[in-house]
Structure 1
C-alpha cells in the first residue's frame, strides 16, 4: 500500500555483482540478491549447507533446481507441468502400472443392470445411504454401488446385481470414498 514511501538501500550482490534494493533493516544482513545466488555461493562452499537444500534435476526437462532433502524423490520435477507431461507420456502410474489397478473398467454390468439400478434407488428412497442427501437435493440421480465389486463375481451378473449387493450413494464424496476403500471390502469377502 505504502511501498512507494519506504526508503530502500542499494546493495551489490556478492555472487552476481548486480545491484539490488532492500529496506534499511534488511541491508545489514543481506549478502545476495536472492535464493539462486545464495544457493550458488553455498554450493561452492559445500562444507556448510545452511539451507539443507540439494540441487536436483527435473526428470522431464533436466533443469536444475533446489529442493529440501526431506522431499527429494526418485522423480523430481521443476513444475507441475513437467510432472504432468512426464507421467502422461511414460504411463508410469496409469493402467496396470498403477498401485490401485484392479483389472480395468467394466462397462457392462449385464442385461438386468438398468432395472436393478432403478430398484436399488427406489428401495433406498432416492437417498444416499451414507450421507442422507436426496436426488432432489443433488439435482441428479444417485450412483448405485456394488458392495462386493462386480469383478469378484467373474461375469455372473445375476449374483453381482442382486439388490442385497447394491447401495445408492451420491457420487462425491460417498461413492468415491467406497472405491478408495475397496481393498477393505475385498479382504472381507
Structure 2
C-alpha cells in the first residue's frame, strides 16, 4: 500500500480489520510500559494505589472523588484572594480576583453595556475604530428587541412585503426615530413601537437615504 510519509508508523495496516487482528495476536506485547506499576499514596485520603511507573511523580489522587475534593480546596484558596470592589454602574459591592481589577469594574455584562451606552465612552467618534457613519451599538437589550420586532412583524418586510424565507436571510430592524436622537437612552430608542422590520436592500437602504 502507499501512504503519506507523515502517517507512516512502526506498525502500519491497510484497514481496521487487519489492525484488530494484529492487536489480538500481539496483545501480550502491547502497552508493556503500563504493566510496570508502582504504589503511591493519595494526597487527599492517604490510601495507597497503583499507577504506571511513568506517572509516579505526576499522579496525586486515587479517584475522581479525591480530585474533586482537591479542586474544592484550591478553589477556596483562590477565592480568599478576591478583593472587594464596587460596580461602576449600579454601585453594588462584589468581589473580583486582583488580576482582573480594572479602572472600571462591573458586576454584570448588563451593567457594563448600560454604563458604556449612557457614557458613550467607547462609542461613536470616541471609538478607536470609528470611521464615521451611523452608531453601531444600540444598548444591551438590542438583540432581544430586534428579535421581538421581527417576530411581531411576522418576519416580513413592512415596506415591500417580502418574507425572510423568500429573502434568504434575516431582515434588518430599523429605528423609525433615529437612535442618535435619544442621546443614549437606549431603552426608549429600542421600544418596539420605534422599530420596524425591513429587507436590507432596497427598503432599509432607501429609508436611510431618505433620512439623509
- Shorter-chain TM-score bucket reads 0.3 to 0.5
Q: TM-score, normalised by structure 1?
A: 0.42
Q: TM-score, normalised by structure 2?
A: 0.37
Larger radius of gyration: 2
